[in-house]
Chains A and B, each alone.
Chain A
Amino acid sequence: MIQSVGRAARILKALGSESARLGVTELAERLGLAKATVYGLLRTLEAHQLVEQDLETGKYRLGPALLQLGNSFLDNNELRARSLLWAETLAGRAREAVHVGVLYGPTVLLVHHVFRPDNSLQILQVGASIPWHACALGKAMVAYLAADAGAELLGGPLPRLTGRTQTSRDALEAELAAVVATGVAVEDQEAIVGEAGIAAALFDNRGAVVGAIGVAGPVERLLPGGPAAEIVAAVKEAARGLSRELGAGRPALPRAGA
C-alpha cells in the first residue's frame, strides 16, 4: 500500500462526507496527520482538480474532476447504458419510478433512476445504496446467486430500516425461493415507510445475475391487496427484454415453473 495515496483518498472521503467545507487544520485533526502533510496533499489534489479551495474562506471542497470520474464510472457501467430505454419504457407503462441496481457487497447500488412520469418534483437517487434484504432489487438478485454467495449474505448483518424490514433468515430464505418461483421480488415498506417495490433480476449470456430492474412507488398503488398484476407483467417484460440485450439466451432464462 502506498501511504500517500491512502492519505489522499482519506482526504477526498472526508471532504465528500461533509456538506460543509473543511480547512487544513480541521482535516489534519480528523485524519490525525500533520498540517504540513495535509497541505501538501491538498495542493497536489488541487493541481489535478480533485479538490478546490474556496478563495474567500481558504477552506477546501471536492473538485470538478470528481464529477467527471463519477460520470464515467456510471457511463462505463454497461448495465446502466443498456437499461436506459427499457427503464424509460417501464416507467411509462407502470406510471411509477424505475430503479436499476447492481449488487455491491451486501448493498444494492442504484445505477439508474427514471422519475415517476407525473411532473412532480423528485430527487435523483442514482448512487444510493440500500441493504439488499430491504428492497425488491436486492431480493431479486440474491435469489439467483450461487448457493454459497447467497448463504454468505443471509448470514451477514440484516439491519432493520422500518418496522416491516424482514430480518429473519428463514423468512428471507422462503422469500428468495418465492422469487425464483414467480420471477419477481416484492418489497412492502421494508426500506421506507409507505413505499413498495416490485423487481426482477437481469442475466448475462452465461445466465449469471448481473443486476435488477424494478418499479418503486407508493404501497397503495403497487400492492393494492397484493402486487398489481399489470406492474408485475411490465417489470417481467422489461427484465426479459433487457436480459436478452445483455446476451442472455431465451432458454437460459430462469422462468416460473421451468
Chain B
Amino acid sequence: MDAACVRSWLGVVATRLEAERDFLTQLDAAIGDADHGINMHRGFTAVMARVGDIEEATPGQLLKAAGRTFVSTVGGAAGPLYGTAFLQAGEALGDAASFGPRLLLDALRASLEGVQRIGAASPGDKTMVDALSPALGAFELELRMGGSLETATSGAREAAAEGMRATIPLQARKGRASYLGPRSVGHQDPGATSTALMFAALEQAVLADRSHRFAAGARRRGSGA
C-alpha cells in the first residue's frame, strides 16, 4: 500500500460515511447522544479537505494529518478515539513510502492500543473495540496462515462486521450507553458500526489498488510487446 492507496481508503470511508450518516445517527439515538453519524461525517469531510491540501506525503504523514484533523473537528467520544487511532497508526508506519501487511498489522495494533488507553474498554463492553479487536485478530491470523494483504483485509472486514453484530445483545459497560444499564441491550453499538465500515472501506481500497496495479502492469506489458 502506498500514499495513493491510503488516500483512496480515506475517500471510500468518507463516501460510505455520507451514505450511512443517518443510519449511524439512528443507532446512536437509541443508546447515545444521536450525533455519531453527524460527527463522523463532519470529521471525515474535514479529513478529506485536509489530505487534499497535502500534495506530497508518506502514508504515515497522511494518517497523522487525518488523526489531528479528526481530533480538532469532532466532539464527543468519536473525536479523541478515532483521532488517536489514526494518529497511532500514522506513527507506527513511520517514514515508509509504502507498506505491506506486516506494517499494516503493526499500525492496526497501535490503533487498538491507543483507543484502549483513552477509553479503557475491553472486548465485550459494547464499544468500537468489539469491532476493532476481532478485525485485528483475523488480520493477524490470516497473515500467519500465509494469507496476502487482500485476504487479510477481507478477513478483518468480516470479523469487524461479526463483532459489530455481536454488540447487539451486550449490555454496555463503557460510554454514555452504559448509563442506560440493561436498556442498552438489544441495540447495535454505533462505534462498532463505524469501525466495521472502516474495515469494509479498507478492503475496497486494497482491492481497487490491486486492480489498478494489475491494469497498469497489463498496459506496460502491452506497450512493451
Of the listed stretches A28-36, A143-151, A156-164, chain B binds A156-164
- In the assembly, what is the distance between CA of A18 and CA of B35, in Å? 25
The answer, yes or no, to whether A258 is at the interface (CB within 8 Å) is no
Q: Is the CB of A220 within 8 A of B75?
A: yes
The answer, yes or no, to whether B217 is at the interface (CB within 8 Å) is no
Of the listed stretches A81-89, A187-195, A206-214, chain B binds A187-195
Which of A121, A161, A194, A195 makes the CB contact (< 8 A) with B29?
A121
The answer, yes or no, to whether A16 is at the interface (CB within 8 Å) is yes
Q: Which residue of A lies closest to B117 (CB)?
A: A163
When distances are taken between beta carbons in the complex, the residues of chain B under 8 Å from A192 are 77, 175-176
When distances are taken between beta carbons in the complex, the residues of chain A under 8 Å from B219 are none
The smallest beta-carbon distance between A123 and chain B, in angstroms, is 7
The answer, yes or no, to whether A19 is at the interface (CB within 8 Å) is yes
When distances are taken between beta carbons in the complex, the residues of chain B under 8 Å from A129 are 179, 181
Which of B29, B77, B78, B179 makes the CB contact (< 8 A) with A128?
B179
Q: Is the CB of B75 within 8 A of A121?
A: no
The answer, yes or no, to whether A68 is at the interface (CB within 8 Å) is no
The answer, yes or no, to whether A218 is at the interface (CB within 8 Å) is yes
Which of B33, B81, B174, B185 makes the CB contact (< 8 A) with A17?
B185
Q: Is the CB of B120 within 8 A of A163?
A: yes
The smallest beta-carbon distance between B164 and chain A, in angstroms, is 18
**In the complex, which residues 160-217 of chain B have their Cβ closer than 8 Å to any Cβ of chain A?**
171, 174-176, 178-183, 185-187
- Chain B interface, DSSP helix/strand/loop, else mixed: helix
- In the assembly, what is the distance between CA of A110 and CA of B181, in Å? 13
The smallest beta-carbon distance between A138 and chain B, in angstroms, is 13
The answer, yes or no, to whether A120 is at the interface (CB within 8 Å) is yes
When distances are taken between beta carbons in the complex, the residues of chain B under 8 Å from A16 are 182
How many chain A residues touch B (CB < 8 A): the figure is 27
The answer, yes or no, to whether B118 is at the interface (CB within 8 Å) is yes
Q: Which residue of B lies closest to A218 (CB)?
A: B75
- In the assembly, what is the distance between CA of A150 and CA of B141, in Å? 49
Q: Which residue of A lies closest to B74 (CB)?
A: A194
The answer, yes or no, to whether A102 is at the interface (CB within 8 Å) is no
When distances are taken between beta carbons in the complex, the residues of chain A under 8 Å from B181 are 128-129
Binary contact track A192-223/B, C-beta < 8 Å → 1, others 0 = 11110000000000000000000000101000
**In the complex, which residues 79-134 of chain B have their Cβ closer than 8 Å to any Cβ of chain A?**
79-81, 116-120
When distances are taken between beta carbons in the complex, the residues of chain B under 8 Å from A125 are 176, 179
The answer, yes or no, to whether B4 is at the interface (CB within 8 Å) is no
Q: Is the CB of A194 within 8 A of B80?
A: yes
Binary contact track B1-42/A, C-beta < 8 Å → 1, others 0 = 000000000000000000000000000010111110000000
Q: Add 17 more A-B contacts to A165-B120, A192-B77, A194-B80 (CB < 8 A).
A: A16-B182, A17-B171, A17-B182, A121-B33, A122-B33, A125-B179, A128-B179, A162-B174, A163-B116, A163-B118, A164-B118, A192-B175, A193-B76, A194-B75, A194-B78, A195-B176, A218-B76
Q: Could you write out 19 A-B pairs with CB less than 8 Å apart?
A: A17-B182, A20-B186, A120-B34, A121-B35, A123-B29, A123-B31, A123-B32, A128-B179, A160-B120, A161-B120, A162-B118, A163-B116, A163-B119, A193-B81, A193-B119, A193-B175, A194-B76, A218-B75, A220-B75
Residues of A near any B CB (own CB < 8 A):
16-20, 110, 120-123, 125, 128-130, 160-165, 189, 192-195, 218, 220
Nearest 5 pairs between A and B by C-beta? Answer: A19-B186, A128-B179, A17-B182, A121-B34, A193-B77
